[in-house]
A = this chain, B = another copy of it.
Amino acid sequence: MKSLMKFLVFSLLFSLSLCFQESSNSHQLPRNMILEYPDDGGKADQEEVNLQCTSWRFAVEANNLNSWKTIPQECADYVKNYMMGKGYLLDLERVSNEAAVFARSVNVEEDSKDAWIFDIDETLLSNLPYYTDHGYGLEVFDGVEFDKWVGKGMAPAIEPSLRLYEEVLSLGFKVFLLTGRSEKMRDVTAQNLMNVGYKNWDKLILRDTEDHGKLATIFKSEKRSEMMKEGFRIQGNSGDQWSDLLGFPMSTRSFKLPNPMYYIP
């Protein structure tokens, strides 16, 4: 009965919050579809949670949210289902396919100055085994625990990214790996990458002592500036965080991999 009570309270609060959103106004668009809640127990509520959490996920992926530290409590199951089900894989495949189409369209010059940047975590390597044990973003990030996981060098490849990586290399791009991981993780990171199939990158750039405390956007922009000064044309940039992609300079095309589990400013 305790869980029934909790469920009813949750449903009530949820419905109330929607009521307030649905004030009448003839010019309001889109024309509201008033959800009728039939006598089917939890089904309509589950639909409502799905709608709300899908909307939240889109806000994450479009970079509309203000800084956040954990996923919404009510989206815990939604995020888990997305990550472990088909949705995440479909999104990863789509973004890699679109990136490959763009990569093939670039006229790669013979001066070896056309470059592609890849982020590492949740871009080339997956930390899903770690996040499976830590609530898929429901727990506040624990740097000490996470570093232990990284130290094992056991992160699997994100397969669609590996295919893109290989194609980008074969097209003649220089490949830079630009990660927020610390310099002290260089060896284990390189070994992990090689073990799961990533080879022949041009440079692996990690956070050095003077980069600690910098926002990711700043750190990564500085590194892209250096590449630009060295004459590289940054054609593509693949990352799961907008802080991998925004700032100055930006690449010709950016590719945002899905990640509803955490946010790095």
Contacts and interface: CB of A to CB of B under 8 A. Distances in A.
Nearest to A248: B248
A197 to B, nearest CB: 8
Chain A, interface SS category: helix
A29 interface: yes
A200 interface: no
Given A7-B7, A248-B248, A90 B158 contact: no
A64 B30 contact: no
B90 A51 contact: yes
B29 A59 contact: no
Interface of A: 1-7, 9-11, 14, 18, 21-22, 25-33, 35, 39-43, 46, 51-52, 54-59, 61-66, 77, 80-81, 83-95, 98-99, 101-102, 126, 128-129, 156-159, 196-197, 246, 248, 250, 254-256, 258
B55 A87 contact: yes
A188 to B, nearest CB: 17
Contact of A10 (B2, B10, B43, B254): B43
B56 A94 contact: yes
A102 B66 contact: yes
B129 A256 contact: no
A41 B98 contact: no
Contact of A81 (B21, B54, B129): B21
Contact of A94 (B42, B46, B55): B55
B156 A28 contact: yes
A258 to B, nearest CB: 7
B95 A30 contact: no
20 contacts: A1-B4, A6-B43, A10-B41, A11-B42, A21-B81, A26-B129, A27-B156, A28-B157, A29-B126, A29-B128, A30-B83, A32-B89, A51-B90, A55-B90, A58-B258, A59-B91, A62-B258, A64-B94, A64-B98, A248-B248
Contacts of A32: 86, 89
Given A6-B40, A29-B126, 8 more contacts: A2-B39, A22-B84, A30-B88, A30-B89, A30-B92, A54-B54, A54-B87, A61-B62
A107 to B, nearest CB: 16
